[in-house]
Each structure stands twice: as structure tokens, then as C-alpha cells.
Structure 1
Amino acid sequence: MAAEQLVLTGAHVVLPTGTVHDGRVVVAGGRIAEPSAGSGPDARVLDLTGHWLVPGFVDLHNHGGGGASFTAGDAEEILRGVQTHRLHGTTTTVASTVTGDMDVLMRQAGLLAELAEQGDIAGIHFEGPFISPCRKGAHAEQLLRAPDPAEVRKLVDAARGRARMLTLATELPGGLDSVRLLVDQGVIAAVGHTDATYEQTVAAIDAGATVATHLFNAMPTLAHRAPGPVAALLEDERVTVELINDGVHLHPAALRLAFRSAGDGRVAFITDAMDAAGFGDGTYRLGPLEVVVQGGVARLAEGDSIAGSTLTLDRAFHRAVTVDGLPVESVVRALSANPAALLGIDDRVGSLEPGKDADLLVLDAGFALRGVMRKGEWVREPELDAGER
């Protein structure tokens, strides 16, 4: 239970303006208060000397975790997946669907909309069925279809105002009209699972597409005479690029290239997690398809395609700083500020600024997650050694 007023002191506090060493964050009433507050007799002080304080992570693209799928028709199962990722630092989750029958997707959207209305998730991301069979990845080919704007509208309507993003292959018939429809409805149009050329991708961006779904994956590779979607998405300042930093989906050089090309203001780390995230190896289902997870890598039982990830965002953070050598401040932007801004919720989450929700994480000196707070309540109490308290 959170104290009415909690003062976190001594940490390296990552703010939008940079890192404040020996910093101070005050939590009151579920929100971040002004640093000058918290001096009253009822304030509780927690010394975090040597630790890092960063904002809670915001995941734009997540299919489940903890053995639970976000496409399950059961609210308890979905919430179990949400809680699994909260324990790993994701305090804001957009639940992603996977290709299925339209009727099934609309039913899933209705349940997810209820959870969004309750504040358990931040909205819905539809990944498929409007994607290219040439780049289907772990999507059932027999259920794919061209992006008919009327059908796109059905999914958006089924989400009752809680649709946040829809991934589509914009080069397919109806693709550009569907992008325009999504923009009109206030839904992010994301280019992904696409076989588009460079020129077709530029047209999609000009029509209003603003996200690259898991850049590099499920799209043509970057080539010097056929730069394809990767070049178009990286070079346009209107586009945020998703990256899965699990060491499986991307070579470190590709990740560094994306950061250098797009800049740290246009990158969003995502999990693209499936049920096995935070759970373990075994056999699972992703929509109608069977997935085998071995050594933490998820692949289709038939065809061997990578089938989402088992990533949690605390691992993405740790890898980005310790393996990829990215600055902490840049990684925090990619995990918190950038996705929050893209979703239009950066007035509430995404940075440690007064007035925002007290969604914050405690990391140790080696960037391992030690504590998670959401809206002023500890989801995971800080794990501090006796000598650190």
C-alpha cells in the first residue's frame, strides 16, 4: 500500500531534461508531486542511493504473457497477462490481437474495450488480418484479406473508441483508403507485414501512416537498388519505428542503425510478446496457430517462422544499455516517452514530471529491475539489500 506521501531520494532520476543524480521524486495521491513537497511529518522516505528511477514502460504491441493470451475470451486470463508485464515494468499496455475471423476479432475487441474502459489496458492494437500473405509471419494465411475500408471500420467500431492502432499492408487494394479512414477515426495506421516498395510506403506515409510495425521484421530487407519500406520508414520524421530488442528479432547493428537513422525521438521498443513471456518454454497457440517455445524463442510448429517473442521490457531496457551501449536517456525515451506521446497519453504517463501518474521503476546499478510502482501503488515492492535501506 502506498503511503499518502512518499519521498524517493538519492537515486539517478531520469527526467525529460536529463538525468539528475542524487535526485528526489515525491509521490502523493497516486501522482508525482513537486520535488519541494514531501517535507511534512507524515512523509515516508525511501533512500535509493545508487539506484535509478525511470518512468514506467509503455508497450504499444503485446499479445500476452504469463501463460495468458490477450486474444482469450476470458477477462481473468487477459488480466493475468497484463499483471505479468506489470511485474516486469510495463505499467501501460496496449493489447494486440492476431489475425482471425472477423466475427472473432470483433468479439475480442468488445472484451478488450471493456478492460480499456476500466483502465486495465490502454487500448487495442489490431495486427491483421489486413496484411500481406507474402509477409504473413505467424498469421494464418487462409484468414488474411485485403484492407477493405468497410471491414476496417467494423473493427474500429467494435472497439468502441478504444482502438489505438491497426497494422496493415498498405500496398494491398484498399490500403491507402483504409489509412485515411483510420486517421479520420483517430486510430494510428501502422505499416507492417508488408511487401511494399519504397514508393508505395512513401504513399502510405503521405496518406497518414505514422508507425512501422516491428521495423525490419515481416517486410522486404533494405537493398541499395530496392530500399523498400525500411528506408522510407526510417527517413520520414513523421514515423515512429517499433523495435523488438530481444537479441533474436534484430542484430545489434540493425538496432543501432535504426537509432542513428531515426533518432531517439522516433523509436519505440516493444515486446510483441506472446503467452510464454514471463512464463517459460512449451507449446502454445497464437491465434489458430501452434507455437513451440524453446530456449525462450517462439517459432511456429509448422514453417519455423518466429512467432512473436517472450520478451519483457525490463529485459529490453537492460540489453539496450548493457549490450547495445545506448545512453540510458535514449532508452527511456524509447520505452516510455515516445510510445506515450504516440498514443496521446503523455499528459499522464511516460515521464517523471509533477502532475503525472506515479508510474515509476526502480533499477539497481546494473540496470536490473528492483521495484515497480503504478499510480502510486507498489506492484512490486523495491528489492533492496539490507545495507541499502
Structure 2
Amino acid sequence: MKNILLINATIVLENTIVANGFVYIKGEKIDSVGNMEECPLYSNVDQVFDCTDKQYVIPGMIDIHVHGAAGYDFMDSTKESFEEIAHALAKEGTTSFLATTMTNPTLYINEVIKNLASYMEDSNLSGVAEMIGIHVEGPFINEEQKGAQPEDAILAPNVSLFKEWQTLSGNTIKVLTFAPELDNNFELLKELKSNGVIPSMGHTDGSYNECLRAINHGVEHVTHLFNGMRGLHHRDPGVVGSALLNDDMYVEVIPDGIHFHPDLLKMVLKMKGLERMLVITDGIRAKGMSDGVYDLGGQKVKVTDEKCILTSTGSLAGSIITMNKARLNLIKWLGLTIHEQLQVTSSNQAKRLGLYDRKGSIQVGKDADIVVLGENGVVELTICRGSVAFQNNDTFK
């Protein structure tokens, strides 16, 4: 593994910005960060990247809800698909992700989870975005709010099945999306909590009071806020109301301007603050591809003008937004500073998953997951655990 040096860089640290600095990467870790006067000798370094005229050097972004990219989907259940998605995500500045499954027949989900666990253990190499766990979305959902989840494979919450999946995963399931109003005596919720898995309300038709009961029993996360759930009504605040009004709830948001009106982000920010906001993409295999018709869990999705629509029902079916485009939208719609942008695209996710000791910020000793932004905030270089994963050869020779 090569040692890498970034020089003449504007480096965004957790609480400050180094205006003319360096980042020295040794192996998979950040070895030192500082002003150029303290920079190590170039002769001891394998690769040097001059960041003069680049906008920022930032920590890699973390997507905790993504299904696919570049023509591949995690439900393909092949090593090739997993590798190609990991490679594609790095191009958008994503250096870590939760591989997200979807509602499908039980035996097939079993296979997908087993293969994801095998990939995570044996093939999760540096130089591509790192799989840091699994997000199981469905099949324990409400058919009234199924969205693009196949109805014929929906199941009632099942503790035994979750236990089987967690065993197959090698205890790598980090988030499970379910409809808590269908969970008898909150048995699944209790099991998730005892396993350290984040229980997330999603694809749920729960009433406001049903959601409050679930929150009181330990739900503290909501999957893609506003979508796949009972909305906000003046006589029943619904799932959305319960998530916004409870200070402890974390909310996933897809800031693509399609899944909800951009101005609603202002309401989310006012009610939740930055600390409980988690930017996701909900990306599908069409991400990074041209318009056309794509498969999603055995269903056809038509992609036109950045909108993904299930051909059978007209439901929204994930997105093709990148994490970096989502970050740029937050500047346009909310006016977030660079530190605030990174909080909702990186550090919040790392803290939520208990990984902030090694991810989520540029700090000595942490994983060398680093992105260099060029003019207009585009991704020009991505380093994943100390190895170059993406390089724009037009700007970095």
C-alpha cells in the first residue's frame, strides 16, 4: 500500500479549516495533518497530490441507504455486483455504505444476506467504498405504504426470521426498516434493540398514536422521511408528525427535489436540527446510467429526467441522486456551511453507526477516507482507506 500526501490543501477538519495544509496518509490511516510549514518530505511519499486551486479536502461521505448504482443492485447477490457498486459510489465521494436489501421472497433474501456477509469479510478491500454493514428494508412492512416494494413478498414482523438473517450476516445487519404498527407486542423491536440493530419506521401506515407507542418502546429512526409512510394531517400527525415532534428521532432525507418539496427541508431543519438529519440517496441500479427502464426487485422502473417511477403503479422507486449532488442541493436550499454539509452527509452517519472512532472526519488515526472537491464542488479525487479509488485525470495528472 502506497503512502499518499495531499499538499497546498484547504482541509475541513471537525471544527476548523486549515487554509494551506497537508494530509499525510500512511497505509490505510491518516498519519498527520497540519500546515504546509510542517509538511513531511516528499521523498518519503509514493504519491503526491497538489490541491492548489481545489475547493476543499473533506472526509468521505457515508450512505446508509443505497440499493445499487452503475447498472448493478445488491439484490443481484453477486460479488461482481457488490464490487461494481462499491467502485461506482467512490466516484461520487461516498467512501462507506450500508448495502440495502428490499422485499423479496425469504429464501432469496437469505442468499443475498449470506453473500453480502461473505463479501464484507473476504472482499471488502481498500480502493473502493467500504461496505460497513447491511440495511434490511422490508419485508416486514405495511402493504398500504409499500411504495416500490413487491407486495407479494411482504411478511408480518418475524423474530425468528430476523435471527436467521442476523446469523447469516455475521451480525452485520445495522438497520432494519419495518412497520411497527404490525409488530405484535413489539417483539421484533425488542429483539432488534437487544442485538444493537437500529429499528427504523418505514413503509408504515401507523397512526400518530401507534407511532408514539413504538417510539416509547425504542424506535428512534425513520426511513426516507415523507415517503412510504402516513403523512402529516391536522387530525392525525401520522408517522411524519411523530418523527418531527420527537427530539430523539433520527430522520433519513433524500434531497433530490423529487421525493419531497425542497422547502420541507427547512421545516425538517427547524424541527430536528442538524444533529438528527441523515442524508441518504436510496440509489438504485440506474444511478450513473442513462434514462431507460431498469429492474428493481423483479419490477420495472422507468427513469426519466432524474425521476424513477415503477411502471406498474406509478410509485416513486428510489433515486439516482449522488451523495455529492445531495450535498450541493443542501447549499442551494438551506445555505448550509461546509461543516454543516459534512455533518449531515458524514459525521452524523458515523456516529449513528458507532463508527466515529474511525470514520466521519479527517483526524489522525482515522481511516484515510478522503475526498478532494474541485471547482463548483465536484468530486475530483476519492481515497478509500488509503488507496485512490477515483481520480479525475484532467485535473490530477
* TM-score using structure 1 length: 0.93
SS at match of 2:110: helix
Query: Is residue 150 of structure 1 aligned with residue 150 of structure 2?
Result: no
SS at match of 1:333: helix
How many Å separate the matches in 1 of 2:196 and 2:178?
A: 16
How many Å separate the matches in 1 of 2:158 and 2:231?
A: 27
How many Å separate the matches in 2 of 1:284 and 1:77?
A: 15
1:175 is displaced (CA, Å) by 6.8
Query: Is residue 79 of structure 1 aligned with residue 83 of structure 2?
Result: yes
Partner of 2:307: 297
Distance 1:198 1:270, change over 3 A: same
Matched to 1:198, the amino acid is Y
SS at match of 1:265: helix
SS at match of 2:156: coil
Worse-matched range after superposition: 30-39 or 253-262: 30-39
Distance 1:327 1:260, change over 3 A: farther
Q: Is the 8 A contact 1:372 1:380 kept in 2?
A: yes
Partner of 1:39: 40
Per-residue CA distance 1:46-76 (angstroms, 9 max, x = gap): 2334421111011100000100011112110
Per-residue CA distance 1:17-73 (angstroms, 9 max, x = gap): 133333432222221123256423424462334421111011100000100011112
Partner of 2:127: none
Q: Is the 8 A contact 1:9 1:25 kept in 2?
A: no
1:5 is displaced (CA, Å) by 4.5
Matched to 1:30, the amino acid is E
Query: Is residue 66 of structure 1 aligned with residue 70 of structure 2?
Result: yes
Query: Is residue 206 of structure 1 aligned with residue 216 of structure 2?
Result: yes
Matches within 5 A, 1:269-288: 269-288=279-298
The size of the alignment, in residue pairs, is: 385
Matched to 2:17, the amino acid is T
How many Å separate the matches in 1 of 2:49 and 2:113?
A: 43
Of 131, 142, 160, the match for 2:170:
160
1:206 is displaced (CA, Å) by 2.3
How many Å separate the matches in 1 of 2:137 and 2:53?
A: 42
How many Å separate the matches in 2 of 1:39 and 1:369?
A: 26
Q: Is the 8 A contact 2:275 2:348 kept in 1?
A: yes
> Over aligned residues, Cα RMSD in angstroms?
1.9
Of 86, 106, 112, the match for 1:108:
112
Q: Is the 8 A contact 1:135 1:193 kept in 2?
A: yes
1:224 is displaced (CA, Å) by 2.6
Partner of 1:30: 28
Distance 1:235 1:365, change over 3 A: farther
How many Å separate the matches in 2 of 1:284 and 1:161?
A: 31
Distance 1:253 1:38, change over 3 A: same
Distance 1:25 1:175, change over 3 A: farther
Per-residue CA distance 1:147-193 (angstroms, 9 max, x = gap): 12222222222212111111000001427221110111121111111
Partner of 1:8: 7
1:236 is displaced (CA, Å) by 2.6
Of 246, 260, 269, the match for 1:236:
246
How many Å separate the matches in 1 of 2:235 and 2:159?
A: 32
How many Å separate the matches in 2 of 1:278 and 1:181?
A: 37
How many Å separate the matches in 1 of 2:285 and 2:69?
A: 4
Partner of 2:103: 99
Matches within 5 A, 1:116-195: 116-118=120-122, 119=124, 120-174=130-184, 176-195=186-205
1:145 is displaced (CA, Å) by 1.6
* TM-score using structure 2 length: 0.92
SS at match of 1:121: strand
Of 322, 328, 337, the match for 2:338:
328
Partner of 1:306: 316
Query: Is residue 377 of structure 1 aligned with residue 387 of structure 2?
Result: yes
The answer for unaligned runs of 5 or more in structure 2 is 125-129
Distance 1:256 1:72, change over 3 A: same
Q: Is the 8 A contact 2:199 2:219 kept in 1?
A: yes
Q: Is the 8 A contact 1:7 1:38 kept in 2?
A: no
Worse-matched range after superposition: 363-372 or 322-331: 322-331
How many Å separate the matches in 2 of 1:288 and 1:364?
A: 39
Q: Is the 8 A contact 1:135 1:195 kept in 2?
A: yes
Matched to 1:48, the amino acid is T
Matched to 2:313, the amino acid is G
Q: Flag as ranges the 4+ runs of structure 1 deviating above 4 A.
A: 382-386
Q: Is the 8 A contact 2:193 2:218 kept in 1?
A: yes
How many Å separate the matches in 2 of 1:156 and 1:139?
A: 21
Matched to 1:242, the amino acid is E
Matched to 1:192, the amino acid is G
Distance 1:280 1:325, change over 3 A: same
Matched to 2:109, the amino acid is L
SS at match of 1:39: coil
Per-residue CA distance 1:213-252 (angstroms, 9 max, x = gap): 0011111221233111212212333322100011111211
Matched to 1:29, the amino acid is G
Matched to 2:30, the amino acid is I
Q: Is the 8 A contact 1:62 1:95 kept in 2?
A: yes
Worse-matched range after superposition: 156-165 or 136-145: 156-165
How many Å separate the matches in 2 of 1:245 and 1:83?
A: 23
The answer for unaligned runs of 5 or more in structure 1 is none
